[in-house]
Structure 1
Amino acid sequence: MQELGVVHTNITRAGEDAVKALAVFGVSTVHEAMGRLGLMRPYIRPVYPGATLCGTAVTVLLQPGDNWMLHVAAEQLRPGDVVVAGCTTECEDGFFGELLATSLRAQGAAGLVIDGGCRDVAALQAMDFPVFSRAINSKGTVKATLGSVNVPVVCANALVTPGDVVIADVDGVVVVPAARAAEVAAAARKREENEEAKRGRFAAGELGLDIYNMRGPLEAAGLRYVD
């Protein structure tokens, strides 16, 4: 059962060094480095080309058609935080737009991920305020029903705990638990170095069949070449 009507004002954020270390990697690399975990559903998309973000989560539980708690969350932000908003039930209304983006930016927010709708996209792009959302929808919302701030939320099927690291780019959104941030950053660095070596071999014309030693297993599985 989700907590409603509560704001947790003291959360444990992932360490700043670990967040900076993760920020240099793409979502796909982080997801693989973490054991293919942490991805949000692929319907969460950047609302304008080139949007990226990385920061610690301040979470919001919204009620359908109601953005009251996004205003409440603004007070809890520290520079570099990412607002991550889930909803008690599916809703694609336009919870977020230019005015809220202006407010969140003034508090130091690095962006927003929302399992709901967003509007004022041209203005958000002009501001370069990164938003990743379920939909783009002009339909407005009200301010009438309590949700919560800084409670664990499920956003696009991913569990997000306040203080987790959220990374988003054109490939999607991935959530790294705060306690694993440094470990995952190190694994991502190792994976990237390994891929750089393979990139050179591919560019030189070597086949994945040989780089990954696939020929024997393919033969054992029954693959036949017919002339």
Structure 2
Amino acid sequence: MTDFKTADLLDDNEDKPLQVVQPGFNNYGGRSKFAGEIVTIKIYEDNSLVRELVAEDGKGKVLVVDGGGSTRCALLGDMLAEKAVKNGWNGIVVYGLIRDSVDIGQMDIGVKALGTLPLKSVKRGVGLRNEVVHFHDVTFTPGQYLYSDEDGMIVSPVALLGE
């Protein structure tokens, strides 16, 4: 499912209500191209739900983490990314920061985030799961599809590649 270009998907599907994520995300994972069904969490400086979700089966899915854009701590590190790889997640998009970026860059998973910071988050178990979230001019709805490559990310209400 990595044989696509977001630019071509947009050109070939002008009749569909596709959304384009505004710039600002960097590639950190070992996969620069990934796609899948969206699963969302909404958290703020607490990555407890990230830990829960990456421990679940993620085959064919992309975890979208709305971290409120906080730059005060990292919401994903190498240990959680490793769990995500083991459980088949295609990718993780973090509206916030990550850490252990060199290690994550060697893993077979797509990871996009705003940046890096070595400070870990707190763990209070606070957050929302499978909620519609909105950032960078896009609404991410659980069950819709995200496509990401070197040029950016798009969101589609329907599968575009026959997932």
TM-score bracket relative to the smaller structure: 0.7 to 0.9
Match of 2:34 in 1: 53
**Residue 49 (structure 1) shift:** 7.5
Partners of 2:126 and 2:135 in 1: how far apart? Answer: 18
| Runs (4+) off by over 3 Å | 32-37, 75-78
Partners of 1:153 and 1:45 in 2: how far apart? Answer: 20
Contact 2:58–2:90, Cα closer than 8 Å, also in 1: no
Distance change (3 Å), C-alpha of 1:154 and 1:34: farther
**Residue 76 (structure 1) shift:** 4.5
Structure 2 alignment gaps of length 5 or more:
none
Among all aligned residue pairs of Structure 1 and Structure 2, give the percentage whose two residues are the same amino acid: 23
- Asked if 1:91 corresponds to 2:41, the answer is no
Match of 1:44 in 2: 25
Partners of 1:91 and 1:34 in 2: how far apart? Answer: 33
Contact 1:31–1:38, Cα closer than 8 Å, also in 2: no
- Asked if 1:25 corresponds to 2:4, the answer is yes
**Residue 129 (structure 1) shift:** 2.3
**Residue 37 (structure 1) shift:** 3.6
Greater helix content? 1
How large is the Cα RMSD of the aligned pairs? 2.2
Greater strand content? 2
Match of 1:126 in 2: 106
Match of 1:67 in 2: 47
**Residue 139 (structure 1) shift:** 2.2
Distance change (3 Å), C-alpha of 1:85 and 1:181: same
Contact 2:30–2:110, Cα closer than 8 Å, also in 1: no
Partners of 1:50 and 1:144 in 2: how far apart? Answer: 31
Figure out how many residues of one structure are paired with residues of the other and give that number.
159
Structure 1 alignment gaps of length 5 or more:
1-19, 187-227
Partners of 2:88 and 2:29 in 1: how far apart? Answer: 20
Partners of 1:99 and 1:140 in 2: how far apart? Answer: 12
